[in-house]
Structure 1
Amino acid sequence: MAISKVLEYAHIDELSLDPENPRIGRAKRKERLGQNELLRVMAAWTLDELVDSFISAGGFWTQDALMVVREKTDIGDVQTVVEGNRRLAALKLMLKAVRGEIDPPRWLKDRLQGTDLDEHNELFTAVPFLVADSRDDIAAYLGFRHVTGIKEWPPAEKAEFITGLIEEHQLSYREVAKQIGSRTDSVRLNYVAFKILLQLEATLDQDEWAEVEDKFSVLFLSLRSQGVREFLGLDLNAPPAGRHDPIPDQKKEDLTRFVNWLFGTKDKKPLVRDSRQVDRFGEMLAEPRAVAYLKDTAEPQFDIAYQLTKGSTDLVIDPLREARRHITLALSGLGDRSEAEDVRTEAWPVIEGGLQLALATKGDNLVNARDLLNAA
């Protein structure tokens, strides 16, 4: 059957939130939260738009039917919603409010005020769902919807889902990319980044690890740099690591440094303060002089480290572009002002600087430029 094409209906109390939902985060999933705890976690999500939709539509759209697996658990047979937990959480929160079981948050109280909803409303008693034989049967749909599709999970959750397809379902990078509608290189990078996150779990305390997980996209972006990969001894062309750590033992000390520079510690702010600096950070790690500076300095500065890299030409290019913009602006307003003494006083240092720059960059026909300037 895989996923049934026949809609079924159930009372909301007969449907369970999924304790394995990637959106609740890896730490919460380890706790194996009960239904009430899960609802408290999910109540912090953005559910107001769903409540608005349910109230305005007067019911549950059948085209948004939940996807359910029937499972045996310690508390008996349950119908677990694998796809649609936000919708289910919104409904459960609404029903608890209608029954008077909770003091609803202000946003929910305002929305329920003036409605005629009660616990016998069809919205709560006839929730549409489709049954799947197993979680695996829903995997492809989840990959498209939440990894590359219309309601994306956060970056770390997407990467974890991809890792599950590779390690639990034994799919290749190419097969995963085809299944979720992504590119092979993106799948590979997500997998490797998540394996590094798991590797860090053994060495970082919970707060530090959570910081890396929250900024997973920065870790992902950094791995695109050849400098970062070489610094960490990472081979992206290697087959999936499986149970092995992607960063070799001889590079674990460098991995700790890398994480501290990229994400900071309890006592120090990160060296990389902005995701736009990630590419430059990779250039630093490819330059031995910059790496030595980073390792040997108690509180290294990003700009100083970058000045030590061989390819940092944009440290010159950016000011040159700014200078060109200002010179263009000055010329546009020069006109009859060119003979003014204060204008001439400010112009000559600019002219001299321009000629010196031309000589320094071996500008053609400027061999005698300095002599000409002196003569002037």
Structure 2
Amino acid sequence: MADKIPGAGRKRPQLNIPLNQLLVDNENPRLAEQYMGKEEEEILSVLYEQFDLEEIAFSMVSNGYFDEEPIVVVPINLPAEFDETQYQDVNDLQNYLEQLTQESNLQFRVLEGNRRTATAKLLTDAKLRAKIGVTEDFPAIDNPIVTEDLKQIPAIVYLNEEDVSPYLGIRHISGNLRWEAFAKAVYLAKLIEKESSSKNISLNESIQSVRKIIPDRTDSIKKQYTAYKILKELRSNYNFNVKQIRNRFSLVTEITNKPDLRQYLNIENYNKIDLSNDVINDDNSDKFVQVFTWVFGNGNDIEPLFKDSRLIGKRLGPILADETATEHLIKHGNIEEAYERSGGEEKFFNKQLYEAQRKIENSLTIAYKFKGKQDSIKQANDLLEAVNALNENLK
């Protein structure tokens, strides 16, 4: 018999759930990690502050909630005696859940549609708005029909969070509503580690398994998980402030994807890396902290040197491939000066001579304008002395 597939049945129970029985997801991959597991009110505050709820609010105060866009939820306090196998017909299951929702305090965690749910809660609860400091320019409902409409939200009900994973993966990992890089990595890491733990398989085997759930290339999943693992190790083992990396998370993959940088950091390519061990260890931790500080800053008093991501490949790679250039960057923090030395000292020296010669030749074209000028004559004599000294040192 073939294994059950996530989309089997083609229909899930769909309910109109009272707004006060919906809880926004405190494990949402798009949340910063310091907010994971926090109470509802704090999560709502974060969603308001960071996720542009105003645009949804303007639509809701004018139109109410469009039933054509149900949220996706899982019940979190089903009765202990509930037995899914008793409901082979989805309509029977829907009727049971509907009755339970009306007669008890059955609550649901929102897995898809958190911004919409949060917006509806803010629009219909003045006390909540005051508590989390919603400003007066946030849209307000002036039509009681809208208020009534938002008191219940249409929702598709999944009984298990695991069954939702393929849908969220298609929608936000490889679909047209993709999450930002950090949220994708958090979500994939959660899936990979849960799959590894529940099936007692290695992380590499788990990645292959998740690949069947998430229609994305295996190497892409492994790259994102490795980048997330590096971030966790920097924070947990080396007290590195990773907060400033969140919005530039894709650069972590770029850093570990460049051969020169990998060699400097002493890590393997993705297809060889052993995820059962730490990527960062006592031998390479100083270099990791150094490179990540150059690229991201330290989140406190050190600004990133490589604010332009294009410079990571064009400048940082060649610099780290050359010992002299690397030492110069460590000592002086000057990218261009270090890059000039990245071909070796002799190449740098000859380049400096060429630049000096070119500038003198350019000066010759206008030298007649300053004939007899004592300041110019003095500078020319000083230059001549420097050239003679250089010539003597080269003999």
TM-score (norm 1): 0.72
Match of 2:307 in 1: 273
Q: 1:223 aligns to what SS in structure 2?
A: helix
Match of 1:90 among 78, 101, 119: 119
In structure 1, distance between residues paired with 2:221 and 2:128: 45
What do the CA deviations read for 1:68-125 (whole angstroms, capped 9, x no partner)?
111249xx8531111111110011011114998667523324x53x434464x1222x
Match of 2:25 among 13, 18, 37: 18
C-alpha contact 1:98 1:117 (8 A) present in aligned 2? no
2:272 is aligned with what amino acid?
A
Q: 1:10 aligns to what SS in structure 2?
A: strand
What do the CA deviations read for 1:252-309 (whole angstroms, capped 9, x no partner)?
12112122222223343322121111112122222222223234x1x32101111222
Q: Equivalent residues in 2 for 1:146-295 (5 A)?
A: 146-170=172-196, 172-177=206-211, 179-203=213-237, 205=239, 208-235=241-268, 236-238=270-272, 241-242=275-276, 244-265=277-298, 266-280=300-314, 281-295=316-330
Deviation at 1:174, TM superposition (A): 4.9
In structure 2, distance between residues paired with 1:100 and 1:267: 35
Mark the CA change 1:205 to 1:115 in structure 2 (over 3 Å): closer, same or farther: farther
In structure 1, distance between residues paired with 2:229 and 2:71: 31
In structure 2, distance between residues paired with 1:205 and 1:77: 41
Gaps of 5+ in 1: 314-344, 347-376
Match of 1:54 in 2: 60
Q: Equivalent residues in 2 for 1:1-150 (5 A)?
A: 5-29=12-36, 32-44=37-49, 45-56=51-62, 58-72=63-77, 78-97=107-126, 104-109=134-139, 111-112=140-141, 114-117=142-145, 119=147, 121-124=148-151, 126-150=152-176
Gaps of 5+ in 2: 79-104, 197-204, 348-364, 367-395
2:68 is aligned with what amino acid?
Q
2:138 is aligned with what amino acid?
L
1:82 is aligned with what amino acid?
L
Q: 1:108 aligns to what SS in structure 2?
A: coil
Mark the CA change 1:84 to 1:181 in structure 2 (over 3 Å): closer, same or farther: same
C-alpha contact 1:233 1:248 (8 A) present in aligned 2? no
In structure 2, distance between residues paired with 1:169 and 1:135: 13
C-alpha contact 2:172 2:179 (8 A) present in aligned 1? yes
C-alpha contact 2:30 2:183 (8 A) present in aligned 1? yes
Q: 2:119 aligns to what SS in structure 1?
A: helix
In structure 1, distance between residues paired with 2:60 and 2:246: 33
Question: How much is the aligned-residue C-alpha RMSD, in angstroms?
Answer: 3.4
What do the CA deviations read for 1:186-222 (whole angstroms, capped 9, x no partner)?
222111111100000124557x221123321222222
Q: 1:133 aligns to what SS in structure 2?
A: coil
TM-score (norm 2): 0.68
In structure 2, distance between residues paired with 1:283 and 1:225: 10
In structure 1, distance between residues paired with 2:128 and 2:280: 53
Q: 1:181 aligns to what SS in structure 2?
A: coil
In structure 1, distance between residues paired with 2:127 and 2:244: 38
Deviation at 1:178, TM superposition (A): 5.2
Mark the CA change 1:301 to 1:164 in structure 2 (over 3 Å): closer, same or farther: same
Mark the CA change 1:106 to 1:60 in structure 2 (over 3 Å): closer, same or farther: same
Match of 2:393 in 1: none
Match of 1:350 in 2: none
Mark the CA change 1:239 to 1:233 in structure 2 (over 3 Å): closer, same or farther: closer
C-alpha contact 2:255 2:312 (8 A) present in aligned 1? yes
In structure 2, distance between residues paired with 1:226 and 1:233: 10
Structure of higher RCO (CA pairs closer than 8 Å, 6+ residues apart): 2
